[in-house]
Amino acid sequence: MGRRHSLADISYALVIGGLATLALLIIVAPVVIVLMTSFTEGRSLKFPPTGFSLQWYEALFDPSKSRQIHRAATNTLEVAAWSTLLGVVLATLASLGLARSRGRLARVADSFFMSPLVLPGLTFGLAALMYFTMIGLRPSLNLIIAGHMIVTVPFILRTTTASLSQLDPALNDSSQSLGASWLYTLRRVTLPLIAPGIFAGAFLAFMASVDNVPVSLFLSTARTDMLPIRMWGMMESTLDPRIAAVSGVLIAAAFLLMLLMEWTVGLTRRMRD
């Protein structure tokens, strides 16, 4: 009996370990392939790369050779920054309001705020375009910011709500019993304690905005070109190796930001909560 149990444990460990290894390869292999391709000497995207060269990173950072990419990257960062900032304000206020109410209306409102995560991205992008066109608004950078804010607010709302759920209500009660106003308590007690959750959600929202394709696809124009759309067009037309270089820069930046957020606010724990 002991041997059968031991064999079962070994078989289970082998199966789980194999599945975990396979999942890790599926996730990591594309990243490694992209990074290797970005150092190719060839004139088009091809794997395995031919030789080793930094020429495509040099071309990427050259203002004259990559002017359109730089403009698209600037638009993307501007949209991500503004949508995250506005999303933080909206999601924090919503989370504070929902935390003070436990009724049915609060649950409905919470579901309403989280609904953008349920809708397919292309469906929301098309619906946003139809709605803005119907009310007489043309695609612009401001509309892209509004669209990105709607789809990124749930990330901030969820992490902020998780931080609020761990906040001891006695702290707010003690502050108010000592004569502090609601605004003073919010500014000096509540916000500092839930700040890690807000920052974790802001990081997730910023990265989701940078990587957002559906909303940008429907709401962007030639003057409001976004980096994911620019990369997509380059993939379809020329297979320019600078696409791999852009991906390498984005991967490195995302990795460094993730390490920074993990070190400062415990991003993994906030997402798990």
Kindly list the averaged pLDDT for each block of 10 residues, start to end, along the chain of length 273.
Answer: 60 84 86 85 78 84 86 91 93 83 74 80 85 84 89 88 78 74 76 84 89 86 83 79 87 85 67 55
Query: How high is the pLDDT of residue 259?
Result: 83
Tokens of 103: 């009724």
Query: How high is the pLDDT of residue 36?
Result: 86
User: Is the CA virtual torsion 133, 88, 217, 119 positive or negative?
Assistant: negative
Strands (DSSP E) found in 110-174: none
Q: Establish how many alpha carbons lie within 13 A of residue 196's alpha carbon, considering only the half-sphere containing its beta carbon.
A: 19
Query: How high is the pLDDT of residue 26?
Result: 86
Region of 261 (left: φ > 0; alpha: ψ -120 to 50; beta: rest) is: alpha
Q: What is the per-residue burial (b if ≥16 Cβ within 10 Å, else e) of 170-190?
A: eebeebeeeebeeeebbeebb
| Distance of alpha carbon 125 from alpha carbon 52, whole angstroms | 40
Q: What is the pTM of this model?
A: 0.80
Query: How high is the pLDDT of residue 89?
Result: 92
Name the residue ranges covered by the structural domains of the chain. 63-272
Residue 162 is which amino acid?
A
Please state whether the peptide bond connecting residue 192 to the residue before it is cis, i.e. omega within 30 degrees of 0: no
Query: How high is the pLDDT of residue 266?
Result: 65
Query: How high is the pLDDT of residue 2?
Result: 44
What homologous superfamily does CATH list for 63-272? MetI-like (1.10.3720.10)
